[in-house]
Chains A and B, each alone.
Chain A
Amino acid sequence: MTKIELTALTKEYGGTRAVDHLTCTVEPGRVTGFLGPNGAGKSTTMRLVLGLDRPTSGTATVGGRDCTTLDTPLRTVGALLDAHAAHPSRTARDHLRFLAASNRIPAARVDEVLEEAGLAPVARRRVRTFSLGMRQRLGVAAALLGDPPVLMLDEPANGLDPEGFVWMRQLLRRLAGEGRTVLMSSHLMNETSAVADHLVVLGRGRLLADVGTAEFIDANSTPCVQVRTSDPVRLRASMALKGHRMREGEGGRWLVDGATAEEVGAVSAREGIPVLELTDLRVSLEDAYLSLTAEAAEFTAASPRTVTTSQEV
């Protein structure tokens, strides 16, 4: 079992904290979505894990070891950090060949990962001619080269077409299914929710959430039910008794905040109120995520004012 473990990880650049006392564990066997707005510290954290940047304090280990002490790190952790990092005048195959050689990975493996990434037909073309999506695929191929138990991908969905995104999703799910640790960063909640079982959310370098995807939605959204009825007056009164406010929605439908479809259905059946349509509006992950990161931003912006005016909130 190879985990990524971060302990009080902190990185400062000239007085700015890019990563701030980050402690969390990325577990094997599932896809962990690493979320946060641009500048939240996701890429910096990945660089710290790989030992490319040195932490100001704290530690980042893979399988209990500092990555810079590994003899053949590509066999332990495969990373895609920047799709543009492949030299434009190298062919895709040569890019992978020098990486393979440095970690004593047999050359045959290069062709395997090219095949897996769907790049076999363009293996001998120069990277210069590649679209962003193809460069992402090359980056994924490089990450898979050492058949590593840990994969770390920074914004892998950038520039992928819909077909590419489906491929990426299936690949990451399969890798997690094989028991590997998969950490995938993104600043977009919806693309992450389609892949990740677990979420680690960062805001301004701090850990905001480390929870299961479903749990995260429940914790960060209020339920809401959309209902169409021929007797909104009575339904409103019954809902008010239950403590739920009913407001007018679109197209003659009504919205009941804080209620679930089971609740509304049970009440209307008991009261004999005709219900023509009843839907649980699952608040999208994007909204939950925005409300979480917005709170973090408000918290940091509001705290100095609270101090100066000494007001209790």
Chain B
Amino acid sequence: MSPATAAAAAAVVPAAPFVPVLRSEWIKIRSVRASWGSLLAILLVTTALTVLAYATIGESEAANGGNRVKEAFYTMNFAQVAALAYGATAVSSEYREGALRVSLAAVPRRGLLYCCKTAVIAVTALLVSVPTTFAAFLVGQAFLGEYAIGLGHPGVLQACVGGAVYLVLMTLFAAGLTFLLRSAVGALSVLVPFVLVGSFVLGDGAGGIGAYLPDRAGSHFFRETSPGPLGPWEGLAVTALWAAAALAVGWWAMRRRDA
């Protein structure tokens, strides 16, 4: 490199080093089919299952009574699994062969790489989760005829917003764990049974530790739960703590390990 081009390179070194890294991470997610596929799957799978469920049994279930707001978000159970899958695949592409070495040779500041990757995962997950919760609600209600409720119904908007935040937190929870386990299959084989089975078994003991599990705690807005020690927003905060803990463990692994 000649002195002139070296000086030019130095001149463009940014005051905000995270901007190019955020762009780079965004290109990474967009350019691997498994990553953006599992991102879109959050919206598509949830909407498709909503159509299936509410078109077939929605009206009869609604006629049986129950909490209409919570019943409206039944398909969030599937959305959260899709969110976990997105968090895991978005991170695991770095742990194929020597992929992380390529990334770290370009961005050797591990904290910078970690934060930017996590931020891009969080923002993309949020951008898809908001339409997902609204779509789940609106599409489902379209099949309920006289039992349908509107967005103005008490608790509905809260459920849409809280549900979207919940999906983002579950995505980050999976992402953090994948940084530790270095494999999407590894992370999902821990998380999916944990969320689908463990939570059912432990969670029904009302008031016990089950109420503090990441999925139980954060899903008060949209799931029928036994009255527990946590309110909806407190519950969401507990899920946020789980996600933060997973990300902290993931960072510890990323910082400590040889690439």
Asked if B57 CB lies within 8 Å of chain A CBs, one says no
Question: In the complex, A88→B93 CA distance in Å?
Answer: 10
Asked if A149 CB lies within 8 Å of chain B CBs, one says yes
Chain B residues with Cβ under 8 A from A51's Cβ? 104, 108
Establish whether residues B98 and A84, one from each chain, have CB atoms under 8 Å apart when the complex forms. Answer: yes
Establish whether residues B102 and A89, one from each chain, have CB atoms under 8 Å apart when the complex forms. Answer: no
Question: In the complex, A104→B17 CA distance in Å?
Answer: 10
Given A75-B1, A81-B101: A67 touches B108 (CB 8 Å cut-off): yes
Establish whether residues A73 and B102, one from each chain, have CB atoms under 8 Å apart when the complex forms. Answer: no
Establish whether residues B32 and A87, one from each chain, have CB atoms under 8 Å apart when the complex forms. Answer: yes
| Contact residue among B9, B20, B103, B258 (Cβ-Cβ distance under 8 Å from A47) | B258
Chain A residues bordering chain B, tally (CB within 8 A): 41
Q: What mask results when residues 67 to 95 of chain B are scored 1 for a CB within 8 Å of chain A, else 0?
A: 00000000000000000000000000100
**Residue ID in chain A nearest B29 by CB atoms:** A98
With both chains docked as a complex, state the minimum distance between the C-beta of A8 and any C-beta of chain B, in angstroms: 19
Chain B: number of interface residues, binned into ranges: 20 to 34
Establish whether residues A53 and B93, one from each chain, have CB atoms under 8 Å apart when the complex forms. Answer: no
Chain B residues with Cβ under 8 A from A54's Cβ? 258
Question: In the complex, A55→B28 CA distance in Å?
Answer: 29
Establish whether residues A84 and B97, one from each chain, have CB atoms under 8 Å apart when the complex forms. Answer: yes
With both chains docked as a complex, state the minimum distance between the C-beta of B117 and any C-beta of chain A, in angstroms: 11
Establish whether residues B23 and A85, one from each chain, have CB atoms under 8 Å apart when the complex forms. Answer: no
Given A52-B101, A103-B20: A73 touches B96 (CB 8 Å cut-off): no
Q: What mask results when residues 55 to 97 of chain A are scored 1 for a CB within 8 Å of chain B, else 0?
A: 0000000000001111111110101011011111111001101
Establish whether residues A98 and B97, one from each chain, have CB atoms under 8 Å apart when the complex forms. Answer: no
Chain A residues with Cβ under 8 A from B17's Cβ? 71
Residues 97 to 141 of chain B near chain A (Cβ within 8 Å): 97-99, 101-109
Instruction: List 9 A-B pairs, Cβ < 8 Å.
Output: A68-B108, A69-B108, A71-B17, A74-B106, A85-B96, A94-B27, A101-B23, A103-B106, A104-B13
9 shortest interchain CB distances as A-B pairs? A102-B24, A94-B31, A85-B98, A82-B98, A68-B108, A53-B258, A98-B27, A52-B259, A101-B24
